[in-house]
Amino acid sequence: MAKELKELTPREENYSQWYNDLVVKADLAESSAVRGCMVIKPYGYAIWEKIQRKLDDMFKETGHVNAYFPLFIPKSFLSKEADHVEGFAKECAVVTHYRLKTNPDGTGVVVDPDARLEEELIVRPTSETIIWNTYKGWIQSYRDLPILCNQWANVVRWEMRTRLFLRTAEFLWQEGHTAHATEAEAMEEARRMLDVYATFAEEFMAVPVVKGVKSANERFAGAVETFCIEAMMQDGKALQAGTSHFLGQNFAKAFDVQFVNKDNKLEYVWATSWGVSTRLMGALIMAHSDNNGLVLPPKVAPIQVVIVPIYKNAEQLDAISGKVAPIVDELKRLGISVKYDNADNKKPGWKFSEYELKGVPVRLAMGGRDLENGTVEVMRRDTLEKETRPMEGIVEYVQTLLDEIQQNIFRKAVAFRDSVTRDVPDYETFKSEIEKGGFLRCYWDGSPEDEDRIKEETKATIRCILLREAETEGKCMLTGRSTKRLVLFARSY
């Protein structure tokens, strides 16, 4: 019974259902009573906390500070930047009233028509407008610059089709908003944060990413240039894992934020914004997991090592617990999170599949024979390999193994990504290759309209223009014109 409850739809059978099963059964998240909004369950939130803590440290190391800006944005603010309103004003939660009252018929509550707001408030879909309206009061001179703020917050975008973590009406994220005295400094900041995101994704989440620039079609509404990191999921679809925008002077102009520069002249401020969200959880799950459940890189795992005793009676459990106690202490001393699961209302087999489902990187099991032999069984989640090791030196072995697992998960993801990345010379080949998924790398000199047509015909989009151009020219896969520009196409989440 318990075993069956944990079974996932196999990936090969229905990838999308496998994903949903996994998110729910591994206790990561679930849908809520509010359409499109999710509940992030404690185990899922513990992973998000690890992501947050590490990113926050990286932001602070690069000179940023946290602040908090209002949840609500006056409707008129959204219209101040012409492109921005097109991108964000459409699907959003609108607050129109500030009071309920008891229903005259005595049943429940109704909106009080007398409590209508003069100007409607939008629940922030992103905060450029309210933040630049605030920065206006903070910036007079070049001495007030740069401003390097980040905010951890919830945002709402009224998505019609939602999927847990990947696309939800409300999601959690961080949004950095920086203000600079020069264009070069702002551009450098946008690139720096792209690098921070890439390093974080690869070294912490073990998710390899391609760094690039968005084409005009996919650019953030209000940005001059959008940099992004793109990851490849196991079903061959790409996932945008983070973006960093060079906003030029667009928002400074929209909110009239000028400063006196060193030459004593008034100038508009230069801006960036950059963000990653709980979507990263989706990337983490889909990049590594298998039909047994989650596969977590040790650095993001809330529990890195679980120890399960296998015993016939209370005395044997006591003997095992006695052997395990110093291992637990030593692992903790090394900063490794460890759980000794001696709960007696569940069988070892149930526990094994539970911790596999939850992606705990290393499992140690100890039974009667291990007691006699001074051994312990070690299982690594990434390969599911088991081996029996001597108790002696087990802590050092586990520590090394965790590093090896972190690296192996990354290597595996890189190998997969590389195996599904192909060069495509022309549109005919493109159309057949795109059916197999993966990244298609092409020379590209087409127009935004060409991109739209390809999207319509193949459901694929330019995920990014590669930061480094080709050394020699090649022919655009669609137009045949010569260009050095290389792009990656893919179908995407």
Q: Cα separation of 316 and 310, whole Å?
A: 9
> Mapping DSSP to helix (H, G, I), strand (E, B) and coil, where does residue 426 land?
coil
Question: Judged by CB, which is closer to a copy of itself: 209, or 357?
Answer: 357
Q: Cα separation of 478 and 487, whole Å?
A: 12
Note whether 103 and 109 are within 8 A (CB).
Answer: yes
165 touches a copy of itself by CB under 8 A: no
- Interface mask (CB under 8 A) for a copy of itself, residues 307-336, using x and -? ------------------------------
156 touches a copy of itself by CB under 8 A: yes
350 touches a copy of itself by CB under 8 A: no
Per CB under 8 A, the segment of 27-35, 191-199, 284-292, 483-491 that binds a copy of itself is: 27-35
Among 126, 133, 174, 483, binds a copy of itself (CB under 8 A): 133
28 touches a copy of itself by CB under 8 A: no
CB of 171 vs a copy of itself, minimal distance in Å: 10
488 touches a copy of itself by CB under 8 A: no
State the chain's maximal CA–CA distance in angstroms: 83
CA angle at 153 for the pair 151 and 155, rounded to the nearest 5°: 125
- Interface mask (CB under 8 A) for a copy of itself, residues 289-308, using x and -? --------------------
Per CB under 8 A, the segment of 30-38, 257-265, 369-377, 472-480 that binds a copy of itself is: 30-38
- Interface mask (CB under 8 A) for a copy of itself, residues 84-103, using x and -? -x---xxxxxxxxxxxxx--
> Mapping DSSP to helix (H, G, I), strand (E, B) and coil, where does residue 39 land?
strand
- Convert 328-349 to b/e letters by CB count within 10 Å (16 or more is b): bebbeeeebbbebbeeeeeeee
Note whether 37 and 168 are within 8 A (CB).
Answer: yes
Question: Judged by CB, which is closer to a copy of itself: 74, or 474?
Answer: 74
Question: Judged by CB, which is closer to a copy of itself: 131, or 371?
Answer: 131
Q: Cα separation of 115 and 89, whole Å?
A: 23
Note whether 189 and 180 are within 8 A (CB).
Answer: yes
Among 2, 5, 109, 470, binds a copy of itself (CB under 8 A): 109
Q: Following CA atoms 199, 203, 207, 208 in sequence, which dihedral angle do they give, to the nearest 10 degrees?
A: 60
The owner of tokens 């889909």 is 286
70 touches a copy of itself by CB under 8 A: yes
2 touches a copy of itself by CB under 8 A: no
On the 0-12 / 13-18 / 19+ scale of CB atoms within 10 A, 377 is: middle
Per CB under 8 A, the segment of 71-79, 233-241, 320-328, 457-465 that binds a copy of itself is: 71-79
184 touches a copy of itself by CB under 8 A: no
Note whether 216 and 467 are within 8 A (CB).
Answer: no
> Mapping DSSP to helix (H, G, I), strand (E, B) and coil, where does residue 304 land?
coil
- Interface mask (CB under 8 A) for a copy of itself, residues 248-267, using x and -? --------------------
- Convert 392-401 to b/e letters by CB count within 10 Å (16 or more is b): eebbebbbeb
Question: Judged by CB, which is closer to a copy of itself: 77, or 439?
Answer: 77
384 touches a copy of itself by CB under 8 A: no
CB of 156 vs a copy of itself, minimal distance in Å: 7
122 touches a copy of itself by CB under 8 A: yes
Residue closest to 163 by CA, chosen among 283, 6, 66: 283
The owner of tokens 């650095």 is 299
What interhelical angle do 42-61 and 279-288 show, nearest 10?
110
> Mapping DSSP to helix (H, G, I), strand (E, B) and coil, where does residue 277 land?
strand
75 touches a copy of itself by CB under 8 A: yes
For the segment 32-51, give every residue that binds a copy of itself (CB under 8 A).
Answer: 32-34, 37-42, 45-46, 48-49
Note whether 442 and 485 are within 8 A (CB).
Answer: no
Q: Cα separation of 175 and 126, whole Å?
A: 8
Question: Judged by CB, which is closer to a copy of itself: 158, or 397?
Answer: 158
73 touches a copy of itself by CB under 8 A: yes
140 touches a copy of itself by CB under 8 A: no
Report the half-sphere exposure of 319 (CA within 13 A, side-chain side): 15
CB of 89 vs a copy of itself, minimal distance in Å: 5
CB 206: neighbour CB atoms within 10 A?
A: 27
Q: Cα separation of 137 and 178, whole Å?
A: 15
459 touches a copy of itself by CB under 8 A: no
Question: Judged by CB, which is closer to a copy of itself: 133, or 399?
Answer: 133
65 touches a copy of itself by CB under 8 A: yes
158 touches a copy of itself by CB under 8 A: yes
Q: Which stretches of the chain bind a copy of itself, using CB under 8 A?
A: 30, 32-34, 37-42, 45-46, 48-49, 65-79, 85, 89-101, 107-109, 111, 120-123, 130, 133-134, 137, 143, 149, 153-154, 156, 158, 170, 172, 345
